């Protein structure tokens, strides 16, 4: 079975920040929620509490960037761009400050409901000039997110997973490089974040039904090099299915649509995710099922693309195991 | 830089230059020149410790916005000198004071008069609402209320590095309607950022008119102190009061000098336009001619020859 890692960000941030004294740890009253409470207690001189005041925090971080520091802002993803959008634009994105926006609880990974669920963050961030977007999909990516983010010459928004996180990969994030998880030739499945694990669950069942799956995992959403993606799209017979923990407008589904339209690719695209809707509060499995973000939704989407019922039941998906990364059948094996 | 003019002369020059520009261009930010002239003159001519300008006296044209593909991008901060540890830094938080700020740069010999001719011209960096790349500017402040926060972050960073230079913000009183201003004062106080200074032009005017008619803000000094800052009132046209105010003890707290000012100072004829003073655009050639005659008279200069058909 897959390895589950507890609070991977906590240790990763401490290790990275201690090795890089110009990194500052900023928090807005969600310190333990963002797994930096031990860091605060151990290294108060490298920690800045900015209170429940995100507008000031973002402009303040811009000022720290101007002074040559590289602030890592920790809060829930929604609080990094909804209320302080103007400050994000004027104080961070426009002047290309090296501010690292660590957005926790992406999409429906919180029971906090609409006010806490960053469901359109990628759409917002993709439309901001100078912004880079990274998303973590497993514990290894969370462990490498600090180094990846801090390698960006400018601002970067990261979707960070917290708490118990499965380990799917054994190599760190390489910015700009997607993971090729399988290289079949019927259908291309593109996922990022928590939907990658769902696709890994669906893959076995899909192959059992005779569908050859090509599966890509994105950890760098912007900037995006279309060339490699075009090769993959060209390598499948039937088309592309995207599954994202985000609304289907402006996220990776839109990214694929733009690449395909821009290059005149005449293949079908099925975009799965939140369909022009807010979510409500509930457990992650419940929300993923209710809003069609899980392996079942993906199998249905592939069936829709192929125009046939694949005859895969919930019980088959439930029985599908995601293998441990260090096992012989590790997820990254092609 | 060596002063060649008195601060009074600089203040007079700011008003005269903005007046001339407004006459020639059928309008401008006249009331801001009236209220701010002594304050900006005092900062640039006396109080700020700035190095020699690092950018050409005649501003370069717009050189593109910051992006990974624009490696030659730079801000307009070089008109305030280099960003060295010992020097002060200044943000002009109300970016619509740009015309007044540019006039100040000219009066203190940091920009050539030709710079003002580029004001608000297409392709120019001397923009109407001061941008990062505009002379004397270092950050975008066009959305009011963000300047003090950015300065607080910069000041914290400079204090952490042990730099002697102070970080100054020139503010406008309308900005206290923005919640971010209060967040910033609380943060600066909480973190003991006492190398942070602000001079606020309290002229009690905003875009829609008199502030008390738009949204009453109450006692600004009391509010600043309630949020943890140190504030001191001065007459914004009295240089000696500003000279004294900056010595107010403020250990562990930012110092905000509240400069009570008149938006008609030096141009009493502008009172006819009250309460719409934010941007004075002449409504008729007759009004323009009257303004020209009367304001020139109160400044003690000849009327501006702005030509016909403008």
Q: How many CB atoms lie within 10 A of CB A77?
A: 27
Contact (CB<8Å) A64/B156:
yes
Task: Look at residues A167, A201, A234 and tell me which one is the last residue of a structural domain.
Answer: A167
The nearest CA of chain A is from the CA of B180 a distance in Å of: 6
Instruction: Identify the band that residue A330 occupies on the pLDDT scale cut at 50, 70 and 90.
Output: very low
A211 token code pair: 């569908």
pLDDT at A254 over 70: yes
Query: What would you report as the CA-atom Rg of chain A, rounded to the nearest whole angstrom?
Result: 19
A·B CB contacts under 8 A: 110
**ipTM score assigned to the predicted complex:** 0.95
What's the pLDDT tens digit per position in B213-260?
999 999 999 999 999 999 999 999 999 999 999 999 999 999 999 999
Mean pLDDT of chain B: 95
- Residue A110 belongs to a domain: yes
**Among candidates A116, A152, A159, which has minimal Cα distance to A138?**
A159
Per-residue pLDDT, B310: 47
Ordered alpha helix ranges (H), chain A? 8-19, 37-42, 54-66, 77-81, 85-87, 121-126, 139-150, 195-208, 226-234, 252-262, 284-290, 295-306, 314-319
Distance between the two ends of chain A, CA-based, in angstroms?
18
Determine if the peptide bond prior to B275 is cis (ω within 30°): yes
Q: Which pLDDT belongs to residue A317? A: 86
Same domain, A203 and A287: yes
Say yes or no: A69 and A139 in one domain: yes
Residue A328 pLDDT > 70, yes or no? no
A124 and A163 share a domain? yes
The pLDDT value recorded for residue A324 is: 65
pLDDT: which is higher, B37 or B277: B37
Q: What is the DSSP letter of A217?
A: E
Backbone φ, ψ for residue B255 (5° rounding): -110, 125
Q: Which of A138, A167, A196 is the last residue of a domain?
A: A167
Q: How many domains does chain A have?
A: 2
- Tell me the pTM: 0.95
Residue A327 maps to a domain? no
Answer yes or no: do A19 and A104 share one domain: yes
pLDDT tens digits for B146-190? 999 999 999 999 999 999 999 999 999 999 999 999 999 999 999
A87 to B66: CB separation less than 8 angstroms, yes or no: no
Helix (H) / strand (E) element for B187: namely helix B179-190
What is the per-residue pLDDT for A198?
97
Please indicate, yes or no, whether residues A161 and A184 belong to a single structural domain of this protein: no
Whether residue A300 is predicted with pLDDT greater than 90 in this model: the reply is yes
The distance of B90 to chain A (nearest Cα, Å) reads 12
Contact list, B166 vs chain A (CB under 8 Å): none
Does B187 sit within 8 Å of A59, measured CB to CB? Answer: no
pLDDT for the residue A321: 61
Residue A331: predicted pLDDT: 34
Compare all CA atoms of chain B with the CA of A24 and give the residue at the minimum distance: B157
Q: Do A63 and B157 touch (CB under 8 A)?
A: yes
Chain A residues touching chain B at CB-CB below 8 Å: 48-51, 53, 55-69, 86-87, 90-91, 94-96, 129-130, 153-154
- Residue ranges making up the domain that contains A71: 3-167
One domain, residues A105 and A57:
yes
Is pLDDT at A10 greater than 60 in this prediction? yes
Which residues of chain B have a Cβ shorter than 8 Å from any chain A Cβ?
Answer: 65-68, 75, 132, 138-143, 145-146, 149-158, 160-161, 179-180, 183-184, 186-187, 190-191
> What is the CATH number that goes with domain B7-63+72-299?
3.40.50.970
pLDDT beyond 60 at A326: no
Question: Which CATH number characterizes residue A312's domain?
Answer: 3.40.50.920
| Domain end position, chosen among A167, A189, A210 | A167
Using a 10 angstrom Cβ sphere, with 0-12 exposed, 13-18 middle and 19 or more buried, the burial of residue A211 is: buried
Nearest residue of B to residue A61 by CA position? B153
Q: For testing the chain A interface, which of B146, B177, B196 should be mutated: the one with the most A CBs within 10 Å?
A: B146
């Amino acid at each position: 079975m897959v390895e589950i890692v507890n609070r991977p960000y906590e240790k990763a941030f401490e290790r990275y920040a201690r090795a890089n004294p110009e990194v500052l740890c900023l928090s807005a009253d969600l310190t333990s929620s963002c797994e930096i409470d031990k860091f605060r207690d151990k290294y108060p001189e490298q920690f800045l509490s900015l209170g429940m005041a995100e507008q000031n925090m973002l402009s303040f971080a811009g000022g720290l960037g101007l002074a040559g520091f590289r602030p890592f802002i920790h809060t829930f993803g929604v609080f990094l761009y909804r209320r302080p959008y103007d400050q994000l634009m004027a104080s961070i994105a426009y002047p290309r400050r090296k501010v690292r926006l660590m957005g926790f609880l992406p999409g429906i990974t919180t029971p906090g409901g609409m006010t806490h669920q960053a469901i359109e963050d990628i759409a917002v961030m993709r439309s901001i000039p100078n912004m880079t977007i990274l998303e973590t999909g497993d514990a290894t990516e969370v462990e490498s997110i600090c180094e990846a983010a801090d390698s960006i010459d400018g601002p970067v928004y990261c979707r960070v997973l917290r708490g118990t996180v499965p380990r799917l990969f054994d190599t760190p994030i390489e910015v700009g490089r997607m993971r090729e998880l399988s290289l079949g030739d019927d259908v291309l499945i593109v996922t990022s974040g928590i939907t990658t694990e769902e696709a890994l669950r669906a893959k076995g069942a899909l192959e059992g039904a005779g569908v050859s799956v090509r599966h890509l995992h994105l950890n760098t959403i912007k900037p995006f090099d279309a060339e490699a993606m075009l090769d993959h799209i060209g390598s499948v017979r039937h088309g592309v299915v995207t599954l994202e923990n985000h609304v289907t407008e402006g996220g990776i589904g839109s990214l694929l649509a733009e690449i395909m339209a821009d290059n005149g690719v005449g293949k079908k695209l099925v975009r799965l995710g939140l369909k022009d809707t807010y979510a409500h509060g509930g457990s992650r499995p419940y929300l993923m099922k209710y809003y069609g973000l899980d392996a079942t939704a993906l199998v249905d989407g592939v069936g829709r693309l192929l125009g046939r019922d694949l005859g895969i039941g919930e019980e088959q998906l439930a029985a599908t195991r995601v293998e441990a990364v260090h096992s012989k059948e590790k997820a990254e094996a092609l | 830089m060596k002063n060649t003019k008195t601060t009074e002369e600089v203040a007079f020059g700011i008003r005269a230059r903005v007046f001339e520009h407004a006459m020639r261009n059928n309008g401008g930010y006249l009331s801001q020149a009236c209220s701010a002239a002594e304050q900006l003159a005092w900062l640039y001519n006396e109080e700020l410790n700035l190095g020699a300008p690092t950018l050409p006296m005649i501003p370069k044209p717009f050189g593109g916005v910051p992006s990974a593909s624009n490696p030659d991008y730079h801000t307009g901060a070089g008109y305030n000198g280099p960003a060295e540890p010992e020097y002060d830094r200044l943000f002009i938080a109300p970016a619509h004071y740009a015309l007044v700020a540019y006039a100040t740069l000219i009066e203190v010999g940091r920009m050539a008069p030709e710079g003002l001719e580029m004001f608000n011209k297409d392709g120019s960096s001397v923009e109407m609402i001061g941008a990062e790349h505009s002379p004397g500017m270092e950050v975008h402040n066009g959305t009011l209320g963000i300047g003090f926060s950015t300065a607080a972050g910069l000041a914290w960073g400079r204090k952490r590095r042990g730099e002697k230079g102070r970080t100054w913000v020139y503010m406008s009183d309308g900005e206290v309607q923005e919640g971010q201003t209060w967040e910033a004062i609380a943060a600066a106080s909480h973190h003991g950022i006492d190398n942070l200074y602000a001079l606020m032009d309290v002229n009690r005017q905003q875009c829609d008119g008199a502030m008390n008619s738009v949204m009453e803000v109450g006692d600004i000094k009391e509010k600043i102190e309630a949020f943890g800052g140190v504030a001191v009132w001065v007459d914004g046209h009295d240089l000696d009061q500003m000279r004294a105010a900056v010595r107010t003890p403020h250990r562990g707290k930012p110092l905000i000098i509240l400069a009570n000012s008149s938006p008609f100072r030096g141009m009493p004829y502008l009172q006819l336009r009250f309460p719409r003073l934010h941007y004075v655009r002449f409504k008729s050639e007759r009004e323009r001619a009257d303004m020209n005659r009367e304001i020139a008279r109160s400044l003690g200069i000849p009327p501006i020859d702005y030509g016909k058909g403008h």
